[in-house]
Homo-oligomer: A and B are copies of this chain.
Amino acid sequence: MANIRDIAQMAGVSVTTVSRVINNHPYVSEEKREAVIQAMEKVNYQVNRTAVNLSQGKTHLIGVVVPFARHPYFGLLIEGVAKQAMERHYHFVLIQTNYEGSREWEALNMLKHKQIDALIICSRTLALDEIERYQQYGAIVVCENATGNQYVDSVYIDHYQSFTDALTYLHQHGYQQIGYCIGRQSGSNSYFRHQAYQDFLKRYPQQEFIFTDNYYFEDGQKIVDEIMQLRVKPDALLVSCDIVAAGIFTAVQNIGIEIPNDLALIGFDNQPMSKMMGITTFEVPIVTMGERLFIHALGEAETSHEKLAVTLIERKTV
């Protein structure tokens, strides 16, 4: 494959001139430009991006860390990132961690080794102060409330507030035994939601119902099975993601539990599926969040920490 020197020789100019025409820089006469273009076309010249990267000290690549790539929530987040990446002529390396710390380290090391320019961590298991240290190698953005942290940027929604709003809404509609379903128990976002739940329980004492490790549609069945084992059952459920809510909605139909009379449901994210099933949910601007994460990764955001608003969509499950 021809390189820039070959082209220079063929066109009878210097590599500088060739570089200028490649990058549309000024100060090159029309004849020489023409000659260079001729030469490039003749041998089907293509720039080697690796060389450009080395020379510029940039890769035009950012890393995106997700626990599960095929979860609808992260799917939308990725979509947002991809959208901005494309517009700005960037690409991204997807790193699925399954919440294994070693994979997160690997992503961090890619930053260290200059394989990527910046890193977006959509969800993490490593401690934030471990992650912070890698900020010296490139921008790091997390998708959780990291307000006050001076090393990493963050884009997030106020999970405490939205959970509180949802609980209050259910309470106002007369529900008295409210539980919630979530993915993992640990994690920053889960923490805020749990806090909201605990604070709500202080105001309106009732039994606690928490269902954990729920990520996918089929986990809805699992939750319903668990509920059926209970002597005292919840009469309303806050479900951290729509697809699980849809699973509950479906699983419940065969066993004579009526929604919303016997059981109310509030989902999160406003995935298309919840619309079709008429599930009351919170609209979370996930795609926008992905886009903003990317903007922060490029260091083009005005503020370090950015909160996005959510809105309740009232449908038929409350």
Contact = CB atoms under 8 A, between A and B. Distances in A.
Interface of A: 46-51, 53-54, 59, 61, 69-70, 72, 75-76, 78-79, 82, 86, 91-96, 103, 110, 112-115, 137, 216-218, 220-221, 246-247, 250-251, 253, 272-273, 275-277
A91 B91 contact: no
A273 B218 contact: yes
B110 A91 contact: yes
A72 B74 CA distance: 12
A95 B53 CA distance: 20
Contacts of A114: 46, 48-50
Nearest to A96: B82
A236 B25 CA distance: 63
Contacts of A91: 93, 95, 110, 115
Contacts of A48: 54, 113-114
B113 A49 contact: yes
Contact of A53 (B50, B75, B247): B50
A75 B82 contact: no
Complex copy number for this chain: 2
A264 B54 CA distance: 59
A61 B93 contact: yes
Given A49-B114, A51-B54, A276 B218 contact: yes
Contacts of A272: 216-218
Contacts of A276: 217-218, 220-221, 247, 250-251
Contacts of A110: 49, 91
Given A69-B75, A78-B94, A216-B272, 12 more contacts: A46-B112, A46-B137, A47-B113, A49-B110, A50-B59, A61-B93, A70-B76, A70-B79, A82-B96, A86-B103, A91-B115, A217-B276
